[in-house]
A and B are shown apart, each in its own frame.
Chain A
Amino acid sequence: MANHSDDLPQLNISMEEKDKLVAEVIRYVLFKNHQNSGSPIKRDELSQIVTKNYRHRNLPAVVIDEAKQKLTSIFGFEMRELQRARPSSTNQGRVSSQQSAADAKSYVLISQLPADVYRKYVEDVNSAHVTGFTFVVISVVLLAGGKIPEENLWHHLKKMGLFENDESHPALGNIKQALETLVQQRYLQKDKISGPEGNILVYELAERALDGPVNERVKEYISQVVKRDVASVVIK
């Protein structure tokens, strides 16, 4: 990785000032991650911390890169960059291409601990039911080809005791709200498609669920779940 300290004279900023900016970005990421319950943090928000007082164009990139390194080395967190590659069809034509490109990048924090250590020491039992619901919904959409009409999704969820108008599920509370939270966290995105019978709402996998490592692990666990039932299923 490039040593950004060499760029400091060109950026007209001292080491202390740069360290201060990096600290502010790291602090923002840590607290925002908790405040948003793990929803992605927009790159634009991080850039604003830098551009509030400094005008150099390349400075935000330098500061964010160093913040990524420090989060890894100090906290063991990976600040994973996600790109919103497929804007939803409802937004097409409304937002200019420049603005959508600027808003497209976002970051999520992912623990770099090994799976067994994470499961033993970090995983929060009190929020495990939300993780389970997230996995199940992503899996159903993935197996439906990455896109599923709302009606079909609820058809599968009903088989597991989750109903659209249920606001007081014993484990998950308001089911519709729980599904909406997945959209906010960018695991899913909603699209409206006009069909012969009017507009149909379709759920599609978003960038966070399409992210390489997450997608692979989801497919792996799906195979494990189904493989136990059908012994003859061939796994590629």
Chain B
Amino acid sequence: MTRPVKREPHITPHPAAGGSTSSSSRLINGGAETSDMDSREATERRLLRSLYRDVKRIITDEREDVERVDSDMFNSIINQVEDLHKSVQKPREQVADAEALLDITNSLVALVKAHGNDGITPSDFVNGLLRDFGRQDGPGTSDESSRNLVAWEDIGLAVSHIFSGCPGCHTMVGPMDTELKQRKAVVGRRRTRPTGSVQPEEVNDSGGKERTDTDKNMATMFSILKNKRSVKLENLVLNRKSFAQTVENLFALSFLVKDGRAEIKVNENGWHLVCKIFINAFILKCLLPPFFLIV
């Protein structure tokens, strides 16, 4: 089947198209006629493209009929396309014509391939499945019944020997690529108090103040010992109302004893007596530096 080559028709200019006024008015009338022709042409072309679309829809929807060897559908479609082709003049319609031919060719190719399968087409196979394994459900939603048309389990059991898959093994341990996760070291977050922190100023001579208190206590205790030659220990250090003061007194006394300025004796009655130590001034002068002299 050969097709003549289509070319665009040659438009000859209007013979009255000249320079006179009468010819210009005729030109305006000619322009109106031309625009009428253009719109008619556009409508015809639109109709032609619509007819081509219908043919393509038939080729798709009636594919099974087209592919059947004994069907007349193929001839009918080809004749339709041939008739439409005679009206094709512009590129857009030529494209639609070529697409229709392509669709028919694809259908033919599928038909030839089906011959390689003893003439069995996918449609034949699907129809056979629906016949053998189709479901006829009872009452149910129409949507569900339209989807549940085939007994897939029955097909699977019938063809299980084709694939013969092995079940494999699994354990409760988990996936094969699970790795032991290392525990992340707990990093303590620095917690900031909601309120502002205030640091008091440091006092440098706090230790000196305590020594001053101890020295005062020592001086007081020593002056008492100077006045009273010997004093009972409990009368000197005990403060029955303040244990802290008692400890301070005992502390001061221990310094006096350590310095050799006082001594603690026990008399025949078992009383603890604290006495001031009299040191010969001359011996003291020899033994100690002058500023250590105790009078």
Q: Contact at B126–A135, with CB atoms within 8 Å?
A: no
Across-interface contacts of B153 in A (CB, < 8 A):
125, 128-129, 132, 171
The residue of chain B having its C-beta at the shortest distance from the C-beta of A148 within the complex is: B122
Of the residues B128, B144, B156, B164, contact of A170 by C-beta under 8 Å: B144
B128 near A225 (CB under 8 angstroms)?
A: yes
CB pair A170–B147 under 8 Å, yes or no, is: yes
For residue B284, CB closer than 8 A to chain A, the reply is no
Q: Which residues of B contact A38 (CB under 8 A)?
A: 165-166, 168
Assess whether B132 is in contact with A129, with CB atoms less than 8 Å apart: no
**A225-B165 contact in complex given A125-B157, A161-B148, C-beta closer than 8 Å:** no
Contact B124 A229 (CB under 8 A): yes
Report whether A222 and B120 are in contact in the complex, using a CB–CB cutoff of 8 Å: yes
Contact stretch, chosen from A6-14, A97-105, A116-124: A116-124
| Given A128-B156, A145-B110, A234-B118: A109 touches B147 (CB 8 Å cut-off) | no
Q: Is the CB of A163 within 8 A of B147?
A: yes
Once the chains are docked, how many angstroms separate the CA of A123 from the CA of B149?
Answer: 23
Question: Is A56's CB within 8 Å of the partner chain B?
Answer: no
Instruction: Tell me, in angstroms, the Cα distance from A171 to B148 when the chains sit together.
Output: 8
Alpha-carbon distance A163/B149, docked complex (angstroms): 12
Interface residues as binary, A127-143 with B (CB distance below 8 Å gives 1, 0 otherwise): 11111111110011011
Interface band, chain A: 35 or more
Asked whether A230 is an interface residue with its Cβ less than 8 Å from the other chain, the reply is yes
- The majority secondary structure among interface residues of chain A is helix
Is A34 interfacial (CB-CB < 8 Å)? yes
- Give the Cβ gap from B117 to chain A, nearest Cβ, in Å: 5
Interchain CB contact under 8 A, A235 and B118:
yes
B159 near A135 (CB under 8 angstroms)?
Answer: yes
Residue B127 CB within 8 A of the other chain? yes
| Chain A positions 159 through 184: 1 when the CB is less than 8 Å from some CB of chain B, otherwise 0 | 11111001001111000000000000
Measured CA separation A10–B246 after assembly (Å): 96
In contact, A34 and B148 (Cβ under 8 angstroms): no
Within 8 A of A (CB), among B135-178: 144, 146-150, 152-171, 175-176
- The answer, among A35, A125, A148, A226, for a CB contact under 8 Å with B125, is A226
A223: which B residues are within 8 A, CB to CB? 118, 120
Q: Which residue on chain B has the smallest CB distance to residue A32?
A: B176
Residues of B within 8 Å of A93, CB to CB, are none
Interface residues of A (CB under 8 A from B): 28, 30-35, 38, 75, 77, 109-113, 115, 118-119, 122-125, 127-136, 139-140, 142-145, 148, 155-156, 159-163, 166, 169-172, 196, 214, 217-219, 221-223, 225-226, 228-230, 233-236
